[in-house]
Amino acid sequence: MRTVPFLIACLVVGAAVFAAAIAGGNDYIFFAGYVVLQYVVLSTAWNILGGYCGYVNFGTAAFFAIGAYSTVAIYKLIDNNEFPHVVPIPVLMLIGGIVSGIIGLGMGYLTLRLRGAFFAIATLALAVVLETLIVNWDFVGGSRGAYIIRPETIAPFGSYIRYLFLVMLLLAIGALVIARLIERSRLGLGLATIRDDELAAEAAGVPTLRLKLIATTISGALMGMAGASFPYYIGYLQPDSTFALDYAVNSIAMPLIGGTSTWMGPLIGAVLLGSLQQLIIVTISSAVNLLLVGVLLVGFVIVAPNGIVGLVHKYLQHKGDDFVGRRHIGLEAPATVSAEGSAPESPS
């Protein structure tokens, strides 16, 4: 399927999801669905660098927080100068994405010469450094946090959370389209060669550093866009809520559970794990979420190291091999010689 038909199909599915949420008649569906869609974007963005390229990034929370605090900074700037609050959420997402993409490009230029665990530790250090800067930046609230006053309703959606849900749904569709486009492009092929054997890719003339910088920039921009609307969702933003361990762990676990080799893996993992977490929050406790992630991650590493997508692909491949094998045996079986010494006629 080409990109335009795929985009149309995603929009149709998205419209069906939005209509089903409205038919549910409960705004909690939008609150929980927003979180699930947010993780779809974060896990898809992580997979562009971590899955396609093989560079494990522990700095998801840092890019997410950059997008969130970009929104807070714009909000404070407008509020302090008594300007009308006319900046729509999509524009805030665009600004957060640009800022996060630039920081991702700079981080990549400094750290992408590292490999393996050294790169992962460097991205974790980035999150720690940025959190320290935010805690000491009084303009955006510092360690005290910042309040964001959002309207209760917005035309024509009614409740404001429905508007946020729709915006995040469109962002999730955009992230999936971008990931699929990268996967099927020359950029995706180059990232795959880096993941398989970076030294061989360099020897073959693949511009490894440039491709990794592109992947880091796109990944960081999508994470920042996911965080830009978060202050309006939560209402009160503080460093602990944006630099939480949940974002780093979930953004890694969801692609690994779903499968990192394709754009469908992060989507499947985020919908499955995100929905399960929201169910546990209302039935047991949010403290169980990370325990659930750990148990599922260990289980999938043992049972299905290539994720759900890899498990399904392996099953279908075996089914196809069995079918071809049976056809092969039936066609190649030697003919039985009759009593007259001639082989029987082949079936018509």
Lowest mean pLDDT across 11-15, 125-129, 254-258, 319-323:
319-323
Name which residue leads in pLDDT, 108 or 333. Answer: 108
pTM reported for the whole predicted model: 0.87
Look at residue 340 in the predicted model and tell me its pLDDT: 46
User: Residue type for 100, please?
Assistant: S
How many Å apart are CA 70 and CA 100, to the nearest integer? 9
Residue 174 pLDDT greater than 90, yes or no = yes
Look at residue 82 in the predicted model and tell me its pLDDT: 64
320 falls in which pLDDT band (50, 70, 90)?
A: low
Q: What are phi and psi of 147, to 5 degrees?
A: -95, 140
Residue 332 pLDDT greater than 60, yes or no = no
Residue 230 pLDDT greater than 90, yes or no = yes
How many Å apart are CA 257 and CA 170, to the nearest integer? 24
Lowest mean pLDDT across 42-56, 257-271, 310-324:
310-324
Burial group, residue 78, by CB count within 10 angstroms (0-12, 13-18, 19+)? middle
Residue 334 pLDDT greater than 70, yes or no = no
Mean pLDDT of the chain: 86
- Smallest CA-to-CA distance from 35 within 278, 254, 228 is with 278
Residue 314 pLDDT greater than 90, yes or no = no
Residue 347 pLDDT greater than 80, yes or no = no
- Smallest CA-to-CA distance from 58 within 113, 116, 98 is with 116
Q: What is the pLDDT of residues 41-100, one digit of tens each?
A: 999 999 999 999 999 999 999 999 999 999 999 988 887 766 656 688 999 999 999 999
Residue 307 pLDDT greater than 60, yes or no = yes
Q: What single string gives the DSSP state of each residue in 180-246?
A: HHHHTSHHHHHHHHHHH-HHHHHHTT--HHHHHHHHHHHHHHHHHHHHHTHHHHHSEE-HHHHS-HH
Look at residue 322 in the predicted model and tell me its pLDDT: 56
306 falls in which pLDDT band (50, 70, 90)?
A: confident
Q: Which two tokens stand for residue 241?
A: 């809520």
Look at residue 112 in the predicted model and tell me its pLDDT: 87
Look at residue 151 in the predicted model and tell me its pLDDT: 82
Look at residue 68 in the predicted model and tell me its pLDDT: 94
User: Residue type for 93, please?
Assistant: M
Look at residue 1 in the predicted model and tell me its pLDDT: 64
Per cent of the chain over pLDDT 90 is: 52
User: Are the C-beta atoms of residues 212 and 56 closer than 8 Å to each other?
Assistant: no
Q: What is the pLDDT of residues 136-163, one digit of tens each?
A: 998 998 888 888 888 888 878 888 999 9
- Smallest CA-to-CA distance from 240 within 121, 143, 125, 126 is with 143
Q: Which two tokens stand for residue 37?
A: 């869609």
Lowest mean pLDDT across 101-105, 135-139, 194-198, 286-290:
286-290
Name which residue leads in pLDDT, 301 or 164. Answer: 164
346 falls in which pLDDT band (50, 70, 90)?
A: very low
Per cent of the chain over pLDDT 70 is: 90
Average pLDDT over residues 198-208: 91
